Amino acid sequence: MLDLLDGVRVVSFNHFLLGPVAIQALGDLGADVIAVEPKGGAFQRFFAGAGTWVDDQSALLLTGNRNKRSIALDLKTDEGRAVARKLVEQADVVCENFRPGVMEKLGLGYDALKEANPGIIYASASGYGSDGPYAKLAGQDLLIQAMSGLAKITGEASTGPRSVGVSVADHHGAALLALGITSALVRRGRTGKGCKVEVNLLSAAIDLQMESFICYLNAKQKHDITAPARVGGWYYSAPYGMYPVKDGHMAISLAKIDDLARALDAPELREFKDEEAFEKGSGIVEILNRVLPQKTYDEWHVSLAENDIWHTRVNDYDDVVADPQVQHNGSFMTVKGASGSDITLVNHPVRYDGQTAEVRLPPQPLGAQTRDILGEAGYSDADIDALISSGVAVTTP
């Protein structure tokens, strides 16, 4: 079991995707994560992409909620807020991704908490930032992809903008949030000083486009960021992109034009020089779109490999799961879920001394550890019974 964050207690007021996935990473590393949800459960319990449920567990719940203990509180009551405050005063890290101002209204903002716990790491995620003209707007991945230019750069001139096929800003934002929290913990270990860590989806989406933005902002002339005929990014030179072959699609990365002409037996490619591969990329792409569909991927693979051209098959998910390197890396794991049925999860992607994370707790029923957590916070059995009977706290057997 990984113990890199053993002894670190995290209280998480997170919902949707970015916050839960970020804090899940800390739980994977050994932190004691207490997930605080409203009485009815957080959003992730009720949304299931592709209508995927395992028993009564939504796919979104299974995505970012392992290795967490669950407590359910009515934060609209004075008693519920008092419990939450006691929990965060005993924590090393507090994390939330409500809209700016919500935690302050609950009396759980950073300024209030650091008075009681000066060393607290207070992590906050939002759509656009805690202040500024968009601070109060709803931040959601698709909207962020559109606003940040990511949809434009992913599209093609003939079909228009296109979003990335996953909630990429959420996932990258989660990684940045986990990085910020662990960095703040390192400093606190040296100095005892707390920190407020802030991540927003818009900045995360722009960070994903770092290379593209730097090419664009420093170019002598501005370019259309929508690629004319390939899905490889406007700033790459041909042949960089994905192309149809007889039995699917293949990706071709960086390659010299002469090598490519020889591998594909396409002498017409030699009309182009390597230094023209960006400006005249559409002509190269047109030839590849005509030549490559004549053979299968396996047939092309032989000649491309012989000429040391970087390429691969474009996989669907069945191909990915069956891939020998993916299996060797242990990217997917199947464990027994809280309901008793098997659930398949995406594993923590980092190894530490050759070791990957384990699932100490599968995603839990709402309030499964309410009694334990309240007891640890100093409440007596009678107090806990009173909180539950009054509806301030919710527990699940």
65 in Cβ contact with 365 (< 8 Å): no
C-alpha distance from residue 21 to each of 44, 178, 249, 318, 343 (Å) = 11, 9, 32, 24, 17
Q: Where are the alpha helices (DSSP H) in 155-232?
A: 168-191, 201-208, 210-218
Q: Catalytic one among 28, 74, 141, 170? A: 170
Length of the chain: 397
Query: Is 92 in the active site?
Result: no
Q: How far apart are CA 272 and CA 277, in angstroms?
A: 7
Strand partners, 96: 13, 124
Q: How far apart are CA 197 and CA 200, in angstroms?
A: 10
255 Cβ partners below 8 Å, 6+ apart? 239, 309, 310
Q: How far apart are CA 129 and CA 201, in angstroms?
A: 8
List active site positions: 170
